[in-house]
Amino acid sequence: MSDKRIPSLGLESIDYSMTSDAVTVNVQGTLRFVNQRFADMIGYEISELIGMSILDLHAPEYRHLIHDITDRRQRHQKVPTRYVTYLIKKNDERIQVEYDVYLIQYEGKPASFTIIKEVSEKP
């Protein structure tokens, strides 16, 4: 789903194109929704991101940790909701980001709703 709203979450009154934060929804590690801010942040088109594994966007040394946290969250185990990690942009540049992640139901499946802020220092 690549439009501006996430109606299946009951959040249709929120226009995610108007927020300064990046927003994603992933089901079992696969991106199902991203807003334009996230696409701009990492240099992809929205259409390229939908269906992509969220792990492929993380720095290699963080992939195991992100996989573990995501798996545990979706099994309703206690995990941090806020943490810092590194993403790899399409041009291979690394950026440091802060995640705020919440467990939701998306199309009847457990999903991660993530608000992402870039925390890298600007050159």
pLDDT band at 9 (very low <50, low <70, confident <90, very high): low
pLDDT exceeds 60 at position 28? yes
Look at residue 93 and tell me whether its pLDDT is greater than 50: yes
> pTM for the full model?
0.81
Domain 7-118 has CATH 3.40.1080.10: no
Instruction: Give the chain's mean pLDDT.
Output: 85
Instruction: Give the pairing of strands 30-34 and 22-27.
Output: antiparallel
Question: Helix (H, G, I), strand (E, B), or coil: what is residue 6?
Answer: coil
Residue 68 is inside which H or E element, if any?
A: helix 60-74
Structural domain boundaries of the chain?
7-118
Is the Cβ–Cβ distance between 23 and 16 less than 8 Å?
yes
pLDDT band at residue 76 using 50, 70 and 90 as cut-offs: confident
Share of the chain above pLDDT 70, in %: 81
